[in-house]
Amino acid sequence: MAAQCCCRKAPGADAAPARPPPEPPPALDVASASSARLFRLRHLQLGLELRPEARELAGCLVLELCARRPSPRALVLDAHPALRLHSAAFRRAPAAAAPPCAFAFAAGPGPAPPPPPRPAFPDAPAAEPAGRPLAFRLDPFTDYGSSLTVTLPPELPAHQPFQVILRYTSTDAPAIWWLEPELTYGRTKPFVFTQGHSVCNRSFFPCFDTPAVKCTYSAVVKAPSGVQVLMSATQSTYVEEEGVYRFHMEHPVPAYLVALVAGDLQPADIGPRSRVWAEPCLLPTATSKLSGAVEQWLSAAERLYGPYMWGRYDIVFLPPSFPIVAMENPCLTFIISSILESDEFLVIDVIHEVAHSWFGNAVTNATWEEMWLSEGLATYAQRRITTETYGAAFTCLETAFRLDALHRQMKLLGEDSPVSKLQVKLEPGVNPSHLMNLFTYEKGYCFVYYLSQLCGDPQRFDDFLRAYVDKYKFTSVVAQDLLDSFLSFFPELKEQSVDSRAGLEFERWLNAAGPPLAEPDLSQGSSLTRPVEALFRLWTAEPLDQATASARAVDISKWRTFQTALFLDRLLDGSPLPQEVVTSLSQCYSSLLDSMNAEIRIRWLQIVVRNDYYPDLHRVRRFLESQMSRMYTIPLYEDLCTGALKSFALDVFYQTQGRLHPNLRRTIQQILSQGLGPGGEQGAAAESETAPPALLRGDEAPGSAISLRDVNVSA
Residue type at 112 in one-letter notation: A
Which residue from 322, 375, 323, 408 is spatially nearest to 701, judged by alpha carbons?
408
Q: Contact, 539 vs 551, CB < 8 A?
A: yes
Helices (H) and strands (E) in the chain, counts: 22, 26
**Inter-axis angle of helices 293-305 and 458-472, nearest 10:** 90
Query: Which string of DSSP letters, residue by residue, matches 423-437?
Result: SPPPPTT--GGGG-S
- Indicate left, alpha or beta for 387 from its phi (over 0: left) and psi (-120 to 50: alpha): alpha
- How far is C-alpha 4 from the geometric centre of its chain's CA atoms? 26
Three-state SS at 164: strand
Q: Which residues make beta-bridge pairs with 146?
A: 79, 140
Which residue from 312, 322, 315, 352 is spatially nearest to 194, judged by alpha carbons?
322
- Indicate left, alpha or beta for 612 from its phi (over 0: left) and psi (-120 to 50: alpha): left
Which residue from 427, 425, 450, 435 is spatially nearest to 509, judged by alpha carbons?
450
- How far is C-alpha 305 from the geometric centre of its chain's CA atoms? 22
Q: Contact, 609 vs 577, CB < 8 A?
A: no
Strands 314-318 and 274-278: parallel
Which residue from 656, 660, 668, 673 is spatially nearest to 697, judged by alpha carbons?
668
Q: 101 φ, ψ to 5°? A: -75, 160
Contacts of 565 (CB under 8 A, 6+ apart): 401, 599, 600, 603
| Annotation marks residue 344 as catalytic | no
Report, in this order, helix, strand and coil percent for the chain, each rounded to 5.
Answer: 40, 20, 35
Which residue from 91, 79, 185, 163 is spatially nearest to 129, judged by alpha carbons?
91
Q: 634 φ, ψ to 5°? A: -60, -50
Which residue from 349, 28, 244 is spatially nearest to 36, judged by alpha carbons?
28
Strands 39-51 and 56-67: antiparallel
Q: 68 φ, ψ to 5°? A: -80, -15
CA atoms within 13 A on the CB side of 448: 28
Which residue from 477, 433, 441 is spatially nearest to 203, judged by alpha carbons?
433
Which residue from 231, 225, 201, 195 is spatially nearest to 213, judged by alpha carbons?
201
Three-state SS at 111: coil
Catalytic pick from 279, 328, 353, 687?
Answer: 353
Give the 3-state secondary structure of 664-676.
Answer: HHHHHHHHHHHCC
Positions marked catalytic? 353
